[in-house]
């Protein structure tokens, strides 16, 4: 006769075991997530509160808690050109980076063979050399008497006759700096494509352009979405490229936030701009992800 196992006790045992396992999970999660909660989430709340502070009547230059929404309208009224410029520059840099990165990612994923991991290392390697120094090096490369500028001038391609200290240099710098963030996600999603699908497209007499448009490109969409986000977001908040490569007419919102926070110590204005930047980017990211349907980015 088979032993009768009371069902209830088995299920409670299973429930207990899984409860214990999830307790271990929480123990593993709490330190790291706690750190993020205290030093990422709470600061955003503080930033928002600071953005609503009002200047103290008794002590000018210091700020007291308040609910002064006019900080936002005042800041945006004064700095909307830099705000818009940030998104235009970041958008242009993202578009250029996509065009430049795609062939490289495609080559690494499908044609590189044994060279694949070496090439991936080479894509990441520039990050080991200082960001600031690499940006500064573009000052030498794009110098007014340098080969790049004189070459383009000989072709009459430069409206101002120079690259350095113009918006072109800032966009070029942004494109360069964030290019690896475009290449890696593109590579990751191209690498996941079953190459037989592309071969099938060729076998069915699709022209190379058709195969790319109807097979490769749609299948690489998750990489395109992730890559454009990873390029656009840091580019929109950057102030290094505009400071080192641009003129005072090419300043981005990052420069404004930086000077207001650190030099002018106008904390409410700087916080309002920073929070507004965060909000705009968040809305863009969420709608972009929803439209292209890539939920799991982590």
Note whether 88 binds other proteins by CB under 8 A: no
Distance CA 203, CA 200 (A): 5
Note whether 283 binds other proteins by CB under 8 A: no
Distance CA 71, CA 74 (A): 5
Judged by CB under 8 A, the residue of 233, 242, 250, 266 near other proteins is 233
Range in contact with other proteins (rule: CB under 8 A) among 7-15, 75-83, 198-206, 250-258: 250-258
Alpha helices in the chain (DSSP H): 7-36, 42-51, 70-110, 116-124, 131-141, 147-154, 167-191, 195-203, 208-211, 217-219, 221-237, 240-245, 253-258, 267-292
Note whether 116 binds other proteins by CB under 8 A: no
Note whether 67 binds other proteins by CB under 8 A: no
Least distance (Å) between residue 213 CB and other proteins: 16
Query: Which positions from 187 through 206 interact with other proteins, judged by CB under 8 A?
Result: none
Judged by CB under 8 A, the residue of 95, 153, 278, 292 near other proteins is 278
Compute the chain's Rg from CA coordinates.
26
Judged by CB under 8 A, the residue of 69, 80, 131, 264 near other proteins is 131
Degrees, nearest 5: CA angle 163-182-218: 120
Range in contact with other proteins (rule: CB under 8 A) among 77-85, 190-198, 209-217, 254-262: 254-262
Judged by CB under 8 A, the residue of 41, 76, 200, 221 near other proteins is 41
DSSP result, 81-103: HHHHHHHHHHHHHHHHHHHHHHH
Least distance (Å) between residue 180 CB and other proteins: 7
Least distance (Å) between residue 150 CB and other proteins: 14
List beta partners, residue 55. Answer: 63
Distance CA 148, CA 162 (A): 10
Note whether 33 binds other proteins by CB under 8 A: yes
């Amino acid at each position: 006769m088979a032993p009768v196992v009371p069902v209830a006790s088995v299920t409670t045992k299973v429930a207990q075991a899984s409860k214990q396992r999830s307790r271990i999970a929480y123990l593993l999660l709490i330190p790291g997530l706690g750190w993020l909660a205290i030093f990422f989430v709470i600061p955003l709340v503080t930033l928002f509160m600071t953005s609503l502070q009002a200047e103290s009547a008794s002590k000018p230059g210091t700020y007291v808690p308040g609910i002064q929404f006019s900080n936002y309208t005042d800041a945006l009224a004064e700095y909307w050109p830099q705000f818009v410029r940030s998104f235009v520059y970041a958008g242009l840099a993202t578009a250029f980076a996509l065009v430049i990165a795609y062939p490289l990612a495609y080559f690494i994923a499908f044609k590189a063979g044994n060279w694949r991991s070496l090439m991936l290392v080479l894509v990441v390697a520039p990050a080991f050399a200082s960001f600031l120094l690499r940006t500064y090096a573009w000052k030498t490369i794009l110098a007014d008497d340098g080969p790049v500028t004189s070459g383009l001038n000989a072709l009459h391609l430069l409206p101002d006759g120079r690259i350095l200290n113009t918006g072109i240099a800032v966009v070029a710098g942004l494109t360069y700096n964030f290019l690896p963030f475009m290449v890696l996600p593109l590579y990751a999603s191209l690498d996941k494509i079953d190459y037989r699908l592309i071969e099938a497209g060729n076998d069915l007499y699709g022209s190379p352009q058709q195969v790319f448009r109807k097979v490769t490109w749609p299948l690489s969409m998750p990489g395109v979405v992730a890559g454009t986000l990873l390029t656009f977001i840091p580019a929109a908040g950057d102030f290094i490229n505009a400071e080192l490569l641009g003129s005072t007419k090419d300043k981005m919102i990052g420069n404004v936030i930086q000077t207001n926070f650190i030099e002018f110590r106008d904390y409410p204005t700087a916080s309002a701009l920073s929070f507004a930047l965060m909000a705009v980017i968040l809305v863009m990211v969420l709608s972009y992800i929803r439209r292209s349907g890539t939920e799991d980015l982590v």
